[in-house]
Structure formats: structure tokens, C-alpha cells
Amino acid sequence: MNNIVSIQNLAVDFYSIDGISKVIDGISIYINQGEVVGLVGETGCGKSVTAKTLLGILPMPPGRIRQGDIFFLDQNLFNIRKAERDVLKQEFAYIPQDPMTSLNPVFTIGTTMLDLIIWKKSQNKIFKYLLNRRKRFLIKEAMNYASDLLEKVHLSKPISILRKYPIELSGGMRQRVLLATAMIGKPKLFVADEPTTALDVTIQKGYIYLIKENVMREELSGLYITHNLGVARILCNRIYVMYAGRIVESGRTSELLDYPIHPYTKGLVNAIPKITGEEFQPINGHIPDYLNPPKGCRFHPRCHHRMEVCSHIAPNIIEVKPRHFVSCWLYNSER
């Protein structure tokens, strides 16, 4: 089992006129070959920031990486030169959240995909790219490749879709196009940032199964960010639960959702209305202010089980059950 990605002790700060926001504070995530890892949490917990730091697209002022390493294919992304990093980044694919605004509205789908395919072929060199753009046979090859990809995402009549503008497609179709675009160049890792938030329920279902199919066929690994635990259940092999910039619990999906351990995870699971009609209860309080986060465990102001130690020292992550990790003093004997 080799790690495709290993994020170790990452900490990211944001500088603003109000001060320094400690948005991510020491998280460690690893993704193995062939597995889809879910990053679950609510708005403001730092999941998108994590994804953007991994992809290297976080705006660096005001953001700043305080500490930590990100290993991709056993190479530390922070220690290598920019040129080598760019080559490695070719293996990433990003599926953004909002299909409405993620495609350039003035270009047809075909032009967008063509551009990317030829760029990947030109291995990041601008002159090569400009030359390649003119070669007829390359363009034809690229168009065939693009329509192949569109077929793989189950879009009917791919040739006519290539000629359309994004505004002529519905949200679900656009999201599939984004998935196809992400598959250009056979990446090793995809990072999906809540891709189904803007979709209807039935379309969402189809899309999730599509991702599953692609993952299995191309042997992809993936980081899937969501706040919907039901979707995470279907798609992810393992889940990391994030709260206020820290990982509070992680483990295999079925184990974690059926038997949650951390008070926050339990609170989340209890707050979701269920078909069974069981009572649902909100979690009291609100997410902390990152300028002045609570000392010790960041969840302690909202926790029913808080103890003295929780407000002073942040708990370590320990393995409570086989491959089920929690960061909570309730389960940590070394108080």
C-alpha cells in the first residue's frame, strides 16, 4: 500500500487587516493508491483551503504556510524546484464546486478541452504549445480524444456537445464536462471540491456513480470534499472529519458513520434529519473565530463532555479501534 499523497502537520495562516487567522492548524492526511478519501466538515472548517494548498492554488498573500510538508509520489512538494513541481502537478486534477462559473462562457466546450489537451501534450512549454496549436493532425487527434472522454462520462452525442457553449448545457451536463476535463492526461489524483452541491438529487446520484465508475476503471485516487455525509458514504473509502482547521476523527467510512466516536462527529450525525424520523438535534454554539481560536481542543466550548484538560492542551490523535483515529481527551489515557 503506497501513499500517493501524504500531508504531514500542515499549518496555514491567513493575514488580514484584523490580524492572523490560524485557519489550518496541524493536519495530517494520507491517500493510498486507488482509494477515495473524503474530507468532511462544515463551512469554514478549512477543507477548501486544504485542497487549494495541496493543488498549489492558494493565493499566497494573504495565505502563508506556517509549517508542514506535502509529499506527492514520495517527493516533498515544498522542497523541490518550481519546474519539477509543475511537472508533478500534471498528475493532479481538480473538479471545482460550481459548474455554472467554472467553464469559460466565451469558448465552446471543444475549444476549452482542446486547449488543455494540447497543453498537456506540449509538456508545459509555451513555444511547443503555440506550434502544436497550428498542426491540423494534432487538433484532429485531440478532438477525437475529447469526444472519447465525453463518452466515458455518459454524455450522449459528444460531437455536438463539443460545439456547444457552456450556457447551452444544464448544470448536470456541465459538471460531467468538468469531470471529463479533469480526466485529460490520465491524472493520478483528483481533488473534488463539493461538486454536487449545485445539482439536483437525481442528477447527483448519477454523477456520484459516474465518479465511482471512473475511479475503478482508471485506478484513480481522490480527495473528495463534501459536507454531505450521505454522499461520502457512497463514494469514499475513508473519511477525515475536520473541525476548525483540525482533524478530529478519521477512519473507514462505514465504521465511522455507523459508530462515530468524537463528540463533534456524533453531533453532526445527530443533527442530520433522517428518513427514520428519529429526532434530530443541532450542535450548540458556533464555529470559533480563527483570529482567537480556543486554547486546547478547538471544539471544547461546544462540547458536552468537556473536561479541565480540554481547554488547555490540544489532544493528540490516537488509534482507538483498528484504523479508527480520534483526537479527543475522552479517549486519551495520557491526560
Partner 1 sequence: MKNENIILETENLCKFYFIPNKKKSIFHNQEPIILKALNSVNIKISEGEIYAVVGETGSGKTTLGNMVSRVFEPTSGKISLYGKDIAFKQGKNLIEVRKIIQMVFQDSGAALNPRQTVEYIMSVPLNICSSLGKKEKMFKIKKVLESVDLPIEILQCYPGVLSGGQKQRVNLARALIFNPKFMVLDEPTSALDVSVQAKILLLLMKLKKEMRLTYIFITHDMSVVKNVSNRVAIMYLGRIVEVGQTSDIFENPIHPYSKALLSAIPVMTKKEKSMLPKEIILNGEMTSLEDVSNTCPFISRCQEKKDICKKVECPKLKEVNNGHFVRCILY
Partner 2 sequence: MKEKITRKKGFKRGFLRFSQNKLSVIGSSILLLITLLAILAPWVAPYPEDAFFNVNFKQRFQPPSLKHFMGTDEAGRDVFTRCIYGARISLMLAVVVLIISVSIGVPLGICAAYFGGTTEQIIMRITDIFLSIPVLVLAMAISVALKPSLQNMMLAISFVWWRGFCRIAYGQTLSVKQEIYILASKTLGCNNSHIVLHEILPNITSSIIVKMSLDAGYAILMGTSISFLGAGANPPTPEWGIMIASSRHYLPDIWWNSFFPGLFIFLTVLSFNLLGDGLRDFFSVESE
Please pick, from the candidates 1, 2, 17, 275, the single residue that binds partner 2 as defined by CB under 8 A: 17
48 vs 228, which CB is nearer to partner 1?
A: 228
Half-sphere exposure (Cβ direction) of 256: Cα atoms closer than 13 Å: 30
Kindly state the helix (H) or strand (E) to which residue 236 belongs, with its residue range.
none
CB of 98 to partner 1, least distance (A): 13
Min dist CB 157 to partner 2, Å, is: 34
The Cα 245–Cα 24 span in angstroms is 4
Q: CB of residue 286 vs partner 2: minimum separation in angstroms?
A: 6
- Distance in Å, CB of 299 to partner 1, minimum: 12
195 binds, among partner 1, partner 2, none (CB under 5 to 8 A by kind): none
Binding at 78: pick from partner 2, partner 1, none (beta carbon under 5-8 Å per type): none
Residue 282 is given by DSSP the state P
- Rule CB under 8 A: choose which of 134, 217, 286, 304 binds partner 2: 286
Cis-peptide into 62, omega within 30 deg: yes
Residue 307 and residue 300: Cα distance in Å, rounded?
A: 8
Distance CA 18, CA 13 (A): 13
Sign of CA dihedral 214, 219, 225, 230: positive
Return the one option of partner 2, partner 1, none that residue 17 interacts with (CB less than 5 to 8 A, by type): partner 2
Contacts to partner 1 by CB under 8 A = 42-43, 156, 170-173, 200-206, 208-209, 227-231, 233-234, 257-258, 267-269, 271-277, 280-283, 286
Distance from C-alpha of 193 to C-alpha of 191, rounded to nearest angstrom = 6
Name the binder of 255 from partner 1, partner 2, none, CB < 5-8 A by kind: none
Which of 67, 285, 313, 323 binds partner 2 (CB under 8 A)? It is 285
The Cα–Cα gap between 70 and 28 comes to 9
Contact call for residue 289 and partner 2 (CB under 8 A): yes
Binding status of residue 62 toward partner 2 by CB under 8 A: no
3-state secondary structure 11-45: EEEEEECCEEEEEEEEEEEEEECCCEEEEECCCCC
Pairing of strands 221-226, 36-40: parallel
The DSSP letter of residue 153 is T
CA dist., res. 315 & res. 212, Å (int): 35
Of 65, 67, 68, 51, give the one whose Cα is nearest residue 13.
65
Q: Is residue 104 a contact point for partner 2 (CB under 8 A)?
A: no
Span from 141-149, 213-221, 278-286, 323-331 in contact with partner 2 (CB under 8 A): 278-286
Using CB under 8 A as the binding criterion, the count of chain residues that bind partner 2 stands at 7
Q: Whose Cβ is closer to partner 2: residue 17's or residue 106's?
A: 17
Q: How far is the CB of 198 from partner 1 (least distance, A)?
A: 9
Binder to partner 2 among 102, 228, 301, 324 (CB under 8 A)?
301
Q: Min. distance of Cβ 288 from partner 1 in angstroms?
A: 13
d(CA 178, CA 326): 35
**d(C-alpha 118, C-alpha 142), whole Å:** 7
Which spans of this chain sit near partner 2 (rule: CB under 8 A)? Answer: 17, 284-286, 289, 301-302
